[in-house]
Structure 1
Amino acid sequence: MTQHIIKLGEGYGDVYELITLINEMPHRVQHLLVLHTNKDGQDMVSFAAIMKPTSQGQFLPIYLCLEGMPKPQEGQSHTRYKAFNEAAEKVGVNLIEFDVPPSTRYHDESLFFQQLIAVFRLNHLLPPI
């Protein structure tokens, strides 16, 4: 089985693309994640969707909007965070939250993605290869 992170982008619009993917394929959504990090002194969030493997080819995509939004302050919620949470409720999946290091800590973004995949496996969010 191939497990691969597909980066949608870092912008605000990319979150709506991820939400559209979730809404269009609710039967494939396995886990929805909010990744918290501190990038360049600012608390940021990333959103991710782990999908169920395809029937042909056994490809398991992990869609990711990377470090594109400031983390909402305690007691506050920004529109995209709220929309992502609503999408999770709509498909009946609980949000899972992790603290992760920023992607800039890694020499190459692919190394960061490998680290995320390892963390997801260790937490039984992804099956072993």
Structure 2
Amino acid sequence: MTQRFIKLGEGYGDIYELLTLVEEMPHRVERLLAFHTIKNNEERTSIAAIFKPTHKGKFQPIYICLEGIPKPKEESSNVRYDAFKEVSEKNNLPIIEMVVPPSDTYHEEELYYQQLIAVLRLNHILPPA
């Protein structure tokens, strides 16, 4: 099975594209993820959705909005993360939260994604390939 991150972007609209994918295909979504990090001295969050593998080709996409929103804090509202939580609750999919290093720790973004896939497999969030 091939598992790969598909980066939607970091902007406001990209987050709503991810939410739309989850809302339009809830039967394909396996898990929702929030990766928290510190990048350029700011707390940032990447949100992601792991989809079920395709029948043909056994491809398992993980759609991600990389470090696109400020890390949510209890004392203040975060509209984009709140929308992610709403989709989570509506589809009965709890958000799995993890603290990870920032993407710029790696020379190539693809290496970063490979590291995240390894961590997700080790934690039994993703099945072995």
| Coarse TM-score class (shorter-chain normalised) | over 0.9
Query: Aligned equivalents of 1:115 and 1:50: distance in 2?
Result: 16
What aligned pairs does 1:26-45 form with structure 2 within 5 A after superposition? Answer: 26-45=26-45
- The one-letter amino acid of 1:127's match is P
Corresponding residue for residue 16 of structure 1: 16
Structure 1 unaligned regions, length at least 5: none
CA distance in 2, matches of 1:77, 1:91: 21
Q: Are 2:129 and 1:103 equivalent residues in the alignment?
A: no
The alpha carbon displacement at 1:71 in A equals: 1.3
Partner of 1:86: 86
Q: Secondary structure of the equivalent of 2:38?
A: strand
TM-score (structure 1 length as normaliser):
0.97
Percent of pairs identical after alignment? Answer: 61
Where structure 2 has 5 or more consecutive residues not aligned to the other structure, the ranges are: none
Aligned counterpart, 1:56 = 56
* TM-score, length-scaled by structure 2: 0.97
- Per-residue CA deviation, residues 13-51 of structure 1 (Å, 9 max, x unaligned), is 111000000000000110000110000100000000001
Q: Which residue identity does 1:34 align to in structure 2?
A: A
